[in-house]
Structure 1
Amino acid sequence: MHSPIATQGTNINMYLDLDPQLQNALEQERDVFEWFLQPRGQTHREVKHRLTYEVNLGDLHIFVKRHLGCGWKEVIKEWYRFRKPVVSARNEWEGASILNKAGLRVPKVLGKGERGRYPHAVESFVALEALENCENLEHFKKGWLGFEGTRWVELKQYLVGEIARITRTMHRCGINHRDLYINHFLVNHSIILDWNPGRTLPLYLIDLHRVQKRKEVPARWLQKDLSALLFSALDVGLTSADCVRFLKEYLGADWKKEFWEKKRLWTKIVRRAIRLYNGFHRKPPTLPKLLRTN
């Protein structure tokens, strides 16, 4: 990226950093920052002060996540809960940078900007390179994309291990996701159709706008991430062997010792996942034997 533009000492602090290709595509725009704040192309999601839209800009295909001022009410509400309010897209680009340096695959940040002096009135955006021709794992189960029999079992085993590795790396970086569901893992459609055991299958982790960053992730946030992940995977057709595979990859070589030392935490993770499933589906999940806590 070019050297970022930063202004201070005025009524509005501003930061702007664009990839050269993106900057060239917008060279005719008088106010580049304002260009990103105006919805364009196809809107995918709009929640309160946040909006995500998809747009083609020259040869670039991008997703823009725009944040407008959330107001003091939202800020104070989060402070009252002893939580840092999400007032800017900065969360996403800083989280993406940390995870990328750790070797994880995340959407490439092509542009980022932030302006505003006070937390309730910050305006910001992050422009992400679109991940072309990708499938998320939301509907991952037997028969997905034609995977059946032994090939299905081998794919499931691979993905369980890979998701565990990604989650472990993220948590060891001091980052918790806060929306860690399997639909936030993407895989290229063409690559997965040609996949065979022994081959790498690149997974991308997306939707980083609510991540939290610390030196170490507190136990309660580990629990929330892992419970959400398990809840979203309970209809995949998990076996006890799949659960052990996840634990081995997530906890490392001394996984049995780690597990027994923190068995209470893992019990809470499973129980919370079951509660989430009951609340969302209005019925109990079918659990592998290893997860039946009662």
Structure 2
Amino acid sequence: MKVFLNATFEQLWQGKDPFEQADAISGDVYRELDGRRTLRFEANGRGYFLKQHKGVGWKEIIKNLLSLRLPILGAANEKNAVEALTNAGVGTMTVAAFAERGANPAAQESFIITEAVEPSISLEDLAIEWRQSPPSLKQKRALLNLVCDMTRKMHDAGVNHRDFYICHFLLRNRDCDADPDLTLIDLHRALIHSHLPYRWRLKDLASLYYSAFDVPLTKTDRLRFIRRYSGQPLRKEFGANQRLWHEVQTKADLLYVKAQRKGILR
């Protein structure tokens, strides 16, 4: 069994079974299905999120392997991604507790507790506000630059998010014109590679771009992102990676049309 507890939970759970303590936690449930439970709770006056995994079963593992996808077995995936992003200098969640037990991958149990990023607003909600009250140029560029830098650092570290949308960026200082404080969340499906494969880079970039379609961004803003992400002049970048950016546009367009058809756009 693997167990990590920060000072708060070390004190709260001293001498107790961490899995029994996690099972006993109650709060505002965000998701509860297929052996997974996600909820927000408070301890010692502070907000936390608990994600529990009760074993995915062999059926789910085989289904993922047949689809050439690595199955997500439990909370260790998110813990490892948090550590990788932290080491890469990407603002992300803080792990307060983690535990894992069981040698059978289909029946493995685990949980992770992270500090709630509060108060904050998602970039998706902020972008909706911008429709009525546009941001200053300074604020928009500061946020665009930071999102770009976080994306580049994440990819340079070999990490891809797999659910890389602006709703998963939380801004603590919403009224900032400079030095925004952003946190990237929801890393339970993230993958870590020695070198990021092309298809995962494409998926992340297209997902991010699609989710920002309704943000008041100009063509100049988009080109600034590409130049900053690539770290080279646009002419050189488009000469070397024209296929990538063309496919990002195409895939993002398809995602947007699909979202329109499903009626999930805000």
The verdict on a shared fold, with TM-score over 0.5 as the criterion, is yes
The residue type equivalent to 1:160 in the other structure is: L
Structure 1 residues not aligned, in runs of 5+: 1-13, 284-294
Matched, 1:159 2:143: yes
Q: Partner of 1:107 in structure 2? A: 93
TM-score, with structure 2 as normaliser: 0.92
Q: Partner of 2:5 in structure 1? A: 18
The residue type equivalent to 2:162 in the other structure is: R
TM-superposed CA distance for 1:34, in Å, is 2.1
Moved beyond 4 Å, runs of 4+: none
248-257 vs 236-245, greater mean Cα deviation? 248-257
Pick aligned residue for 2:155 from 160, 171, 176: 171
- Supply the distance in 2 between the matched residues of 1:211 and 1:59 (Cα, whole angstroms): 30
- Supply the distance in 1 between the matched residues of 2:129 and 2:64 (Cα, whole angstroms): 42
Higher relative contact order (CA 8 A, sep 6+): 2
TM-score, with structure 1 as normaliser: 0.84
Q: Partner of 1:69 in structure 2? A: 55
TM-superposed CA distance for 1:137, in Å, is 1.0
Identify if the C-alpha distance between structure 1 residues 60 and 139 changes in structure 2 by more than 3 Å, giving closer, same or farther.
Answer: closer
- Supply the distance in 2 between the matched residues of 1:25 and 1:261 (Cα, whole angstroms): 55
The residue correspondences of 1:33-182 to structure 2 (distance < 5 A) are 33-38=19-24, 40-141=26-127, 143-144=129-130, 147-148=133-134, 151-182=135-166
Matched, 1:256 2:250: no
TM-superposed CA distance for 1:154, in Å, is 2.8
The residue type equivalent to 2:251 in the other structure is: R
Identify if the C-alpha distance between structure 1 residues 80 and 142 changes in structure 2 by more than 3 Å, giving closer, same or farther.
Answer: closer
Q: Partner of 1:272 in structure 2? A: 251
207-216 vs 259-268, greater mean Cα deviation? 259-268
Give the match's secondary structure for 1:63: strand
133-142 vs 220-229, greater mean Cα deviation? 133-142
Q: Partner of 1:219 in structure 2? A: 198
Matched, 1:192 2:178: no
- Supply the distance in 1 between the matched residues of 2:222 and 2:166 (Cα, whole angstroms): 15
TM-superposed CA distance for 1:91, in Å, is 0.7
Structure 2 residues not aligned, in runs of 5+: none
TM-superposed CA distance for 1:262, in Å, is 1.4
The residue type equivalent to 2:230 in the other structure is: L
Pick aligned residue for 2:183 from 204, 225, 229: 204
TM-superposed CA distance for 1:155, in Å, is 2.0
- Supply the distance in 1 between the matched residues of 2:124 and 2:24 (Cα, whole angstroms): 30
The alignment-based identity, stated in percent, is 36
Identify if the C-alpha distance between structure 1 residues 70 and 280 changes in structure 2 by more than 3 Å, giving closer, same or farther.
Answer: same
Give the match's secondary structure for 1:44: strand
- Cα-Cα RMSD: 1.9
Give the match's secondary structure for 2:127: coil
Tell me the alpha carbon deviations over residues 178-225 of structure 1, each in whole angstroms, 9 at most, x when there is no partner.
Answer: 00000000011xx222x22xx311111000100000111111111111
Number of matched residues?
A: 262
Mark the structure with the bigger radius of gyration: 1
TM-superposed CA distance for 1:101, in Å, is 1.3
